């Protein structure tokens, strides 16, 4: 086994410098179990950030399934196999009735890339509406629709066929909680883009959106915004692509999918991350009509997508979510976490906003209660201090002032107590009010 | 277990119709071992087409490695881990000295997509030179540089920033074996594009090419073409991206990489398919200079890419290739296969051309020896007949008249005998001369 120092050295030498490490002093993690990670020195960390290890690190049932299928057969989709059709059937049963045609891929980025291709094929247009701060992937086509990337460091700005609405952020956005019917106001921003497209004689292709903005800073939209905005797009012949890569599979607690909590009706749903509990697995699900239009003679082939091993793992994840009642757990523990964090907010002025649904939380830190100046440096310090105290969280948002909590779904009330008590201690130690 | 009929029905219902199945009567495969696949009825098939299961289906060493690491930890690249740096070091040692910075991804498509982004960032241009018939992936950006896709059924034609040279095919191409120095003539096609770009005051970004055209029909370029063409691009400040997704990792026998057999010197190498023996694993390797330029402030993050499990599998594949001397096996068996197929060619006029290197072969079928009219229907029938006789091969090329042979690298001389004897029998039965 290499020393931590040697890994750093080799990483500098052999790994692309565009990859980043978490924390000032990066962790050397060697083991995972449930909601815990273990460093080389044996120290245990409570993982409150890894939404990919959805049902818990190294879940025995997922491991057993992977091993069993892998010993039998791994192969591409050009032969018939039980797993892909069983999985597709089980997956679509979790979705609204019309969303029943599956495409299996290897990452959320591949899924969003494919979804954009489908929408462009269906509408004959590439005019795409996105939300400021949104992230949809690392391929060229998905970076083009990710303001988080193209408006961030090193970004090339917005392509001319991509149109942004302001982040529908009730706390620090253009329209705020006390500005009246802000759901309508933000939805009107979509309408304005549609009007301009109409005046320019252009068809809209798609509105792509997460139901809760992840990288944008765990932003919960004003109630009714997503349904209104997506309906406007659909009424002019465009498609609504629901990006469920970060929040799907029961994470929001109240529902299996994020868009359901918003009463929105997607034409295409993309998923990834949590779907295979770490195994590279992702999917696009759409309607028969859109799938048939996409079937224009060009084959879609994906070397690994939909292979028997990936599909077996996907099925096992669905089963574990159900049998261990993880969606209900997310709802219950999330509710408890919300209470605890709201208590903490009373005691620390730096906590400007606490927002969450299920096990997907953001704690927005501010320097002052009037201007709501983002407490970016403080957020970074807190995430690092939390790590030193054995708890892993991250920061995000355009100002990096939002603490993100999105743990494996086996997170408990005791874990919540530990997290909140530690956060309280760190805030007191750092003297951040 | 589902019946074959039921799987077909469920597949029609739940799987995107753009996915295709091999053969008129698709196979229901349930088990794999080495170079063999087994159908639900117990019938054994010799797999002479699956270049993804590089070291053989369900290789025990790969399975053991995957299981061991998976039980310990699977995680993203934001923490330090031995596997990613060990693998990167081992992988770059297989490449020319300057290619020593790795990016790990989940599919060859993701790798080519990323390589194009890097080249565009490095050169400040997206002007890309490609080879007619070439395939580089299924994402939007890779379809844009894949004439196999954009000029094929359902394709939207060439984007204005993509420039094609004719397929450097010595057998049925624009310039043929007896046309003099055809390597130079095809390389001049690249020069002509560079001249036009120069006249238009445009910088070339990249020349992306496989060293042997796979989907284009197993096309082996005239000796010296690839080195000459790529050097011309590099001399005007463009990058040469070597797409090794289909042929890397010793498949060509004489060398570990396809571009080495052509004495070409890539700036970026992309790999996938065989790299993880079926596990979704792929990579981009480039120079420090290009990697540093790409590190412009925009993070590259890939949820699954470079995780400890994928990297463990990648290392195991490298070790098995080395310990089982699979590159040498590809060289020896490939040479034997070449002799056998050339013998067969003497006996059957339909075989117009036999070409191969290591375990990557094409058998081009023609209707007549003068016009070289492609025998497309015959190729399709032969692939189906071979399947009925227990041997899996495929067809490809713009006219679908090329039989493709690219088996797992554990293929033996006995397998070769079986394949060639069966092909002889099928050709005689079908009365195809």
User: Which of B101, B291, B303 is facing A52, going by the closest CB pair?
Assistant: B303
* Judgement on whether residues B216 and B84 belong to the same structural domain of the protein: yes
Sequence-separated (6 or more) residues with CB below 8 Å from residue A5? none
Number of domains making up chain A: 2
* Judgement on whether residues A49 and A68 belong to the same structural domain of the protein: no
Per-residue DSSP letter, B177: T
- A1 pLDDT band, cuts 50/70/90, is confident
pLDDT (tens digit, 9 = 90+) per residue, B259-271? Answer: 999 999 999 999 9
Mean pLDDT estimate for chain A: 97
User: Which of A2, A66, A107 is facing B110, going by the closest CB pair?
Assistant: A107
Cα-Cα-Cα-Cα dihedral sign, residues A325, A330, A332, A336: positive
pLDDT (tens digit, 9 = 90+) per residue, B119-173? Answer: 999 999 999 999 999 999 999 999 999 999 999 999 999 999 999 999 999 999 9
Please report how many Cα atoms fall inside a 13 Å half-sphere around the Cα of residue B220, on the Cβ side.
Answer: 18
User: Which of B67, B101, B107 is facing A302, going by the closest CB pair?
Assistant: B107
Tell me the DSSP string of A178-221.
Answer: TSSSHHHHHHHHHHHHHHHHHHTT----EEEE-SEETTTTSEEP
Query: Which of residues A267, A289, A323 is at a domain's end?
Result: A323
Nearest residue in B to A276, CA atom: B304
Nearest residue in B to A14, CA atom: B101
- Provide, as residue numbers in chain B, all residues whose Cβ is less than 8 Å from the Cβ of A298: 18, 149, 152-155
C-beta atoms of A10 and B88 within 8 A: yes
At A326 the pLDDT is 98
* Judgement on whether residues B140 and B24 belong to the same structural domain of the protein: no
* Judgement on whether residues A384 and A366 belong to the same structural domain of the protein: yes
C-beta atoms of B17 and A292 within 8 A: yes
The ipTM value here is: 0.97
Which CATH number belongs to the domain containing residue B46 in this structure? Answer: 3.90.1150.10
Nearest to A394 by CA among A63, A132, A5, A48: A48
Sequence-separated (6 or more) residues with CB below 8 Å from residue A381? A430
Q: What is the C-alpha separation between B400 and B345, in angstroms, rounded?
A: 19
At B433 the pLDDT is 62
User: Which of A11, A75, A143 is facing B85, going by the closest CB pair?
Assistant: A11
Dihedral of the alpha carbons of A19, A23, A29, A32, in degrees to the nearest 10: -100
| Average pLDDT rounded to a whole number, residues A268-287 | 97
A210, B28, B364, B390, B430 from B386: Cα distances, Å: 48, 16, 16, 6, 11
| Average pLDDT rounded to a whole number, residues A204-217 | 97
Distance (Å) from the alpha carbon of B56 to chain A's nearest alpha carbon:
11
Nearest to A109 by CA among A144, A132, A136: A136
Do A174 and A180 touch, CB atoms closer than 8 A? Answer: no
| Average pLDDT rounded to a whole number, residues A49-72 | 97
Distance (Å) from the alpha carbon of B413 to chain A's nearest alpha carbon:
24
Distance (Å) from the alpha carbon of B246 to chain A's nearest alpha carbon:
11
- Provide, as residue numbers in chain A, all residues whose Cβ is less than 8 Å from the Cβ of B88: 10, 14-15
- Provide, as residue numbers in chain A, all residues whose Cβ is less than 8 Å from the Cβ of B284: 16
B249, B273, B277, B333 from B328: Cα distances, Å: 12, 20, 18, 9
At A130 the pLDDT is 98
- Provide, as residue numbers in chain A, all residues whose Cβ is less than 8 Å from the Cβ of B141: 139-141
C-beta atoms of B28 and A70 within 8 A: no
User: Which of B116, B138, B294 is facing A18, going by the closest CB pair?
Assistant: B294
Distance (Å) from the alpha carbon of B180 to chain A's nearest alpha carbon:
37
Q: What are phi and psi of B395, to 5 degrees?
A: -120, 155
Given a cut of 80, whether residue B53 has pLDDT beyond it is yes
Say which residue, B433 or B110, is predicted with more confidence. Answer: B110
pLDDT (tens digit, 9 = 90+) per residue, B57-109? Answer: 999 999 999 999 999 999 999 999 999 999 999 999 999 999 999 999 999 99
Nearest residue in A to B155, CA atom: A298
C-beta atoms of B70 and A58 within 8 A: yes
Q: Give me the domain span that covers residue A379.
A: 4-55+325-429
Q: What is the C-alpha separation between A207 and A230, in angstroms, rounded?
A: 7
* Judgement on whether residues A120 and A207 belong to the same structural domain of the protein: yes
Describe the strand order of the beta sheet including B391-392 as a list of residue ranges. B29-33, B36-39, B44-47, B391-392
| Average pLDDT rounded to a whole number, residues B208-218 | 97
Compute the residue count for chain A: 433
Nearest residue in B to A141, CA atom: B140
C-beta atoms of B109 and A114 within 8 A: no
Single pTM value for the model: 0.98
Percent of chain A with pLDDT over 90: 99
Distance (Å) from the alpha carbon of B179 to chain A's nearest alpha carbon:
35
User: Which of A28, A74, A77 is facing B278, going by the closest CB pair?
Assistant: A74
- Provide, as residue numbers in chain B, all residues whose Cβ is less than 8 Å from the Cβ of A116: 140
At B432 the pLDDT is 77
Distance (Å) from the alpha carbon of A239 to chain B's nearest alpha carbon:
18
Distance (Å) from the alpha carbon of A264 to chain B's nearest alpha carbon:
22
pLDDT (tens digit, 9 = 90+) per residue, A359-394? Answer: 999 999 999 999 999 999 999 999 999 999 999 999
* Judgement on whether residues A34 and A70 belong to the same structural domain of the protein: no
C-beta atoms of B15 and A85 within 8 A: yes
Distance (Å) from the alpha carbon of B132 to chain A's nearest alpha carbon:
17
- Provide, as residue numbers in chain A, all residues whose Cβ is less than 8 Å from the Cβ of B72: 30-32, 58
C-beta atoms of A28 and B79 within 8 A: yes
Query: Which of residues A290, A323, A356 is at a domain's end?
Result: A323
* Judgement on whether residues B319 and B348 belong to the same structural domain of the protein: no
* Judgement on whether residues B165 and B301 belong to the same structural domain of the protein: yes
- Provide, as residue numbers in chain B, all residues whose Cβ is less than 8 Å from the Cβ of A73: 29-32, 37, 57-58
C-beta atoms of A300 and B75 within 8 A: no
Distance (Å) from the alpha carbon of A129 to chain B's nearest alpha carbon:
18
- A430 pLDDT band, cuts 50/70/90, is confident
At B76 the pLDDT is 94
At B256 the pLDDT is 98
Nearest to A260 by CA among A250, A275, A274, A270: A250
* Judgement on whether residues B364 and B223 belong to the same structural domain of the protein: no
Interface contacts (A, B; CB < 8 Å): 335
Given a cut of 70, whether residue B47 has pLDDT beyond it is yes
pLDDT (tens digit, 9 = 90+) per residue, A290-306? Answer: 999 999 999 999 999 99
CB environment B68-91: b (16+ within 10 A), e (fewer): ebbbbbbbbbbbbbbbbbbbbbbb
- Provide, as residue numbers in chain A, all residues whose Cβ is less than 8 Å from the Cβ of B110: 106-107, 109-110, 138-139
Nearest to B132 by CA among B165, B158, B160: B165
* Judgement on whether residues A295 and A358 belong to the same structural domain of the protein: no
Q: What is the C-alpha separation between B334 and B338, in angstroms, rounded?
A: 6
Distance (Å) from the alpha carbon of A68 to chain B's nearest alpha carbon:
10
Distance (Å) from the alpha carbon of A139 to chain B's nearest alpha carbon:
6
C-beta atoms of A307 and B29 within 8 A: no
CB atoms within 10 A of CB A33: 17
pLDDT (tens digit, 9 = 90+) per residue, A233-262? Answer: 999 999 999 999 999 999 999 999 999 999
User: Which of A28, A37, A80 is facing B80, going by the closest CB pair?
Assistant: A28
Given a cut of 90, whether residue A431 has pLDDT beyond it is no
pLDDT (tens digit, 9 = 90+) per residue, A305-355? Answer: 999 999 999 999 999 999 999 999 999 999 999 999 999 999 999 999 999
- A427 pLDDT band, cuts 50/70/90, is very high
* Judgement on whether residues B303 and B333 belong to the same structural domain of the protein: no
- Provide, as residue numbers in chain B, all residues whose Cβ is less than 8 Å from the Cβ of A50: 75-76
Which CATH number belongs to the domain containing residue A304 in this structure? Answer: 3.40.640.10
User: Which of A4, A16, A37 is facing B101, going by the closest CB pair?
Assistant: A16
C-beta atoms of B16 and A295 within 8 A: yes
Q: What is the C-alpha separation between A394 and B174, in angstroms, rounded?
A: 58
* Judgement on whether residues B262 and B332 belong to the same structural domain of the protein: no
Nearest residue in A to B392, CA atom: A79
User: Which of A57, A100, A298 is facing B152, going by the closest CB pair?
Assistant: A298
User: Which of B14, B300, B304 is facing A89, going by the closest CB pair?
Assistant: B14
Interface mutation target, options A8, A280, A387, chain B, most CBs of B under 10 Å: A280
Q: Is A100 helix (H, G, I), strand (E, B) or coil?
A: coil
pLDDT (tens digit, 9 = 90+) per residue, B407-424? Answer: 999 999 999 999 999 999
Q: What is the C-alpha separation between B341 and B17, in angstroms, rounded?
A: 36
CA A25-A28-A30 angle, to 5 degrees, is: 160
- A433 pLDDT band, cuts 50/70/90, is low
Do B375 and B367 touch, CB atoms closer than 8 A? Answer: yes
C-beta atoms of A29 and B292 within 8 A: no
Query: Which of residues A267, A293, A323 is at a domain's end?
Result: A323
Do A9 and B84 touch, CB atoms closer than 8 A? Answer: no
At B61 the pLDDT is 98
User: Which of B73, B106, B116 is facing A30, going by the closest CB pair?
Assistant: B73
pLDDT (tens digit, 9 = 90+) per residue, A23-47? Answer: 999 999 999 999 999 999 999 999 9
User: Which of B22, B30, B297 is facing A78, going by the closest CB pair?
Assistant: B22
């Amino acid at each position: 086994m290499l020393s931590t120092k040697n890994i750093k050295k080799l990483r500098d030498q052999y790994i692309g410098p565009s990859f980043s490490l978490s924390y000032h002093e990066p962790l050397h993690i060697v083991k995972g179990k449930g909601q815990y990670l273990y460093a080389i020195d044996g120290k245990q960390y409570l993982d409150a950030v890894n939404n990919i290890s959805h049902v818990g690190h190294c879940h025995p049932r997922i491991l057993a399934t992977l091993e069993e299928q892998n010993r039998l057969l791994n192969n591409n989709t050009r032969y018939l196999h039980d797993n892909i059709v069983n999985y597709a059937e089980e997956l679509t049963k979790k979705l609204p009735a019309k969303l029943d045609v599956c495409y299996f891929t290897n990452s959320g980025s591949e899924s969003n890339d494919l979804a954009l291709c489908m929408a462009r094929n269906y509408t004959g247009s590439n005019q795409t509406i996105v939300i400021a701060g949104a992230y949809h992937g690392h391929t060229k086509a998905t970076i083009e629709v990710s303001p988080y990337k193209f408006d961030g460091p090193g970004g090339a700005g917005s392509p001319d066929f991509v149109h942004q609405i302001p982040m529908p952020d009730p706390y620090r956005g253009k329209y705020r909680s006390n500005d009246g019917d802000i759901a309508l106001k933000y939805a009107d921003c979509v309408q304005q883009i549609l009007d301009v497209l109409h005046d320019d004689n252009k068809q809209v292709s798609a509105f792509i959106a997460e139901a809760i903005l992840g990288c944008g800073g765990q932003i919960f939209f004003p109630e009714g915004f997503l349904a209104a905005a997506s309906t406007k797009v659909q009424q002019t012949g465009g498609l609504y692509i629901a990006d469920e890569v970060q929040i799907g599979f029961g994470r929001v607690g109240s529902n299996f999918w994020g868009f359901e909590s918003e009463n929105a009706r997607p034409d295409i749903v993309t998923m990834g991350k949590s779907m295979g509990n770490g195994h590279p697995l992702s999917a696009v699900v759409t309607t028969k009509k859109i799938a048939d239009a996409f079937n224009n003679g060009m084959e879609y082939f994906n070397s690994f997508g939909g292979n028997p091993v990936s599909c077996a793992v996907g099925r096992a994840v669905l089963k574990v979510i159900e049998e261990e009642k993880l969606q209900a757990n997310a709802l219950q523990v999330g509710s408890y976490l919300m209470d605890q964090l709201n208590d903490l907010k009373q005691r620390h002025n730096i906590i400007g906003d606490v927002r969450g649904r299920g096990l997907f939380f953001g704690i927005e830190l501010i320097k002052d209660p009037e201007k709501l100046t983002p407490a970016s440096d403080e957020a970074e310090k807190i995430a690092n201090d939390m790590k030193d105290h054995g708890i892993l969280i991250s920061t995000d948002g355009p100002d990096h002032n939002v603490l993100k909590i999105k743990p494996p779904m086996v997170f408990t009330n005791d874990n919540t107590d530990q997290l909140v008590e530690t956060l309280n201690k760190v805030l007191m130690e750092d003297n951040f009010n």
